[in-house]
Structure 1
Amino acid sequence: MKFTNDHYSRGDSFMFKPIKSWEQAHEELGSIEVTMSDSSLSSMAQPFGITESIDQSLGMCTEDLFIDMCERQHDYVSPRTYTPDASYIPYRRYLVDWMSDVGEQCDLHTTTVHVSILFLDKIFRSRDVPRSHWQLMATACLSIAAKYEEAEENCPPIPDLLRLTKLRDAGHTSLTFREGEVEVLRHLGWKLRAVPPLHVLGYFLSKGAVFYEDTWQGRTLIEKIPKYIKKYADFFCNLTLQEYSFQQYLPTHLAAAILLSSRVALQIMPRWRPELTLLTGYEETEISGAFKHVWSYYEEQFPGHGARSISPRSVVQKDFLSQA
């Protein structure tokens, strides 16, 4: 049930495809809903903590957005482009930490930082960038990602970026920085729609990632469980961003594995459900390898945490997250 290019062939990849309104999608799905048996509908568990359909509140069919992400995810991350022997890989962790710190100081959304790092990875794995240009390229990637992902008023001005990153002290001006941005855009082929797992998980969580029939540590779910799931999902996304080896998985594949990791970390049972297979497009067996990779890296970075019960509050604490 995995989403593939064959499943969602695009034809003209640059053709604009408007998002269907929720009403249109509902009408199109009407005939399908009628053919479903009552027993099939009754066997599906209801999402826990979802009080209103995201499709209704936004007035659109959000599944179209997910389909679009499935189609575009190959542009930046795929097993085909995975290059673990790229020359910058030994230094990548430092670049990721530095870009994350700059993004935090600029009050950028976490998703913006994740997208900017996908930009940098795509450029660095395909060409040899002199180390003297690394800081400029990394900052330009952040700036471009902000312009694409953020509201205009949240985009950091170039003079502020030059001062914050000390590029100004290295002799860069607004003009040379803009030249750096243009260089990044050319390397990216002007295709800026990058899909990190964090984007995919946003869709999964909006649809519901825990269900009324689930249990938490053998007990009935409590009201804050959906928030805890989100905190763990964000944590695992930030954790896996640091390690390039996770780019051997498609973003939808890794996002599903992170969702499974979040449920396991919270001791939610069952670990995986048919409803999650329907939502993500993956059976548990299909993501077991990626899940084991995520979980082993988690235990490596936080020895002992994975082997014992962690309070959901601990994943929210800044000192816990700051170690990632």
Structure 2
Amino acid sequence: MELEGQWWKGELAEDIYQALRYKELRLPVYKGQSPQLSLRRYFADLIAIVSNRFKLCPAARHLAVYLLDLFMDCYDISVQQLHMVALSCLLLASKFEEREDRVPKLETLNSLGCMSSMNLVLTKQGLLHMELLLLETFQWNLYLPTAAHFIEYYLPVAVNETDLHDGWPMVCMEKTTLYMSKYADYFLEVSLQDHAFLRFVPSLIAAACVASSRVILHLCPAWPPCLQCLSAYTWEQLLPCVERLLIAHDSDVKEANKQKCPKPSAQPAQMVYPVQGQSVSLHQYMQRPNTQYMQQSCQPVVVSSQGPATYLTHTASMQGLTQTQTMDAKVNMPGRAYQVNPLYPCAAPCFDR
């Protein structure tokens, strides 16, 4: 990101942060009532694939998924229409978060390989119609903070020179900071994969991503006073979200070991955490008092006959739909192609035009 976009380094950073915290308290309520909720992961991955293809900023990707969640929560939408909705959410989010020259163009979108695999053809009229419906659903308000906005404010102080690594002073501050950024990005992507994270406010998710990264990186204390003061969250408040993130990380490590050495007789990888010379499970480790986190090494150790675990990023997958859910023919999107049935009354006058 260019220097001019690094708001967290400016003089107004604290004011912007407080404005974001104020705004997140007024975010729409997510009910998780979409009939297509089982497909939510697939379409979140679709947004991630297209976002990565155009190298959009994390804020645009997170905002797009959040718009999709809110829209699916309001309407009963067919699978064919959801493809159009997901891509329209990404376009709206990129127009809000990115420079104009970075917003994906219609021709480039239609040329993507995943578009042909979905048998989907976008039209200008269809996109404009869908964007109008989205804007009217959100009452023309796209100022919706996400975890990607908050984590930029936390990362500059996520690693301190006074931190201990395995009980010893850090050898290389620069390298630790680099790994912190990578793990924070990873946990941010983890938070997009499950709608259960919507029960937490974005600022707490961002703080939990930093805390989880510190746990993985051996940094102690796991949640130092400077981060607690900056975020206004205690370790106990972060604990439910951190536990979800670390469980997802453990699952990814196990999956990486399976893919690395697939043997029928092999024992699956088990994540254990060192506490005063003992190996405890994740649940036991997470339930220890906060003082124990402040004193103990926080790095999970992989115990497996397959060798050390590898870092597995959340690469978006296009395997979420079954054969019965895929489209059989190309879908052209003229102005009145959509038939959306609301789950509860919601004005959508653009369908009447």
Q: Distance in 1 between matches of 2:43 and 2:32?
A: 16
Q: Distance in 2 between matches of 1:55 and 1:144?
A: 22
Does structure 2 conserve the Cα–Cα contact (< 8 Å) formed by 1:137 and 1:180?
yes
Identity of aligned residues (%): 24
Q: Distance in 1 between matches of 2:78 and 2:27?
A: 22
The equivalent of 1:213 in structure 2 is 162
CA RMSD, 1 decimal: 2.6
Q: Distance in 2 between matches of 1:56 and 1:159?
A: 35
Task: Say whether residues 1:302 and 2:253 are aligned partners.
Answer: yes
- Relative distance call for 1:162 and 1:168 in structure 2 (3 A) is farther
Q: Distance in 2 between matches of 1:287 and 1:212?
A: 23
Task: Say whether residues 1:248 and 2:199 are aligned partners.
Answer: yes
Does structure 1 conserve the Cα–Cα contact (< 8 Å) formed by 2:180 and 2:214?
yes
Aligned pair partner of 2:126 in 164, 170, 176: 176
Compare the two structures and name the one with the higher strand fraction. Answer: 2
Q: Distance in 2 between matches of 1:256 and 1:179?
A: 37
Q: Distance in 1 between matches of 2:146 and 2:225?
A: 24
Aligned pair partner of 1:104 in 43, 47, 52: 52
Does structure 1 conserve the Cα–Cα contact (< 8 Å) formed by 2:190 and 2:314?
no
- Relative distance call for 1:305 and 1:83 in structure 2 (3 A) is farther
- Relative distance call for 1:56 and 1:322 in structure 2 (3 A) is closer
Does structure 2 conserve the Cα–Cα contact (< 8 Å) formed by 1:298 and 1:306?
no
The equivalent of 2:242 in structure 1 is 291
Task: Say whether residues 1:320 and 2:312 are aligned partners.
Answer: yes
Query: Secondary structure in 1 aligned to 2:76?
Result: coil
- Relative distance call for 1:175 and 1:167 in structure 2 (3 A) is farther
Letter in 2 for 1:212: E
Query: Secondary structure in 1 aligned to 2:312?
Result: helix
Structure 2 unaligned segments of length 5 or more: list them: 1-5, 255-268, 273-299, 303-307, 317-353
Note the C-alpha offset of 1:138.
Answer: 0.7
Q: Distance in 1 between matches of 2:96 and 2:8?
A: 26
Structure 1 unaligned segments of length 5 or more: list them: 1-53
Letter in 2 for 1:281: A
Note the C-alpha offset of 1:266.
Answer: 0.3
Letter in 2 for 1:127: Y
Q: Distance in 1 between matches of 2:9 and 2:237?
A: 32
1:145-184 equivalences under 5 Å are 145-164=93-112, 165-166=115-116, 170=120, 172-184=122-134
The equivalent of 1:95 in structure 2 is 43
1:261-272 equivalences under 5 Å are 261-272=212-223
Q: How many residues align structurally?
A: 261
- Relative distance call for 1:170 and 1:278 in structure 2 (3 A) is closer
Q: Distance in 1 between matches of 2:155 and 2:78?
A: 40
TM-score normalised by structure 1 residue count? 0.73
Q: Deviations over 1:16-53 (max 9, x none)?
A: xxxxxxxxxxxxxxxxxxxxxxxxxxxxxxxxxxxxxx
The equivalent of 1:14 in structure 2 is none
Aligned pair partner of 1:197 in 140, 147, 163: 147
Q: Distance in 1 between matches of 2:160 and 2:211?
A: 14
The equivalent of 2:284 in structure 1 is none
- Relative distance call for 1:146 and 1:57 in structure 2 (3 A) is closer
Aligned pair partner of 2:232 in 275, 278, 281: 281
The equivalent of 1:127 in structure 2 is 75
- Relative distance call for 1:111 and 1:57 in structure 2 (3 A) is closer
Compare the two structures and name the one with the higher helix fraction. Answer: 1
- Relative distance call for 1:323 and 1:113 in structure 2 (3 A) is closer
Q: Distance in 2 between matches of 1:56 and 1:184?
A: 30
Letter in 2 for 1:284: W
Note the C-alpha offset of 1:243.
Answer: 0.7
Q: Distance in 2 between matches of 1:122 and 1:74?
A: 16
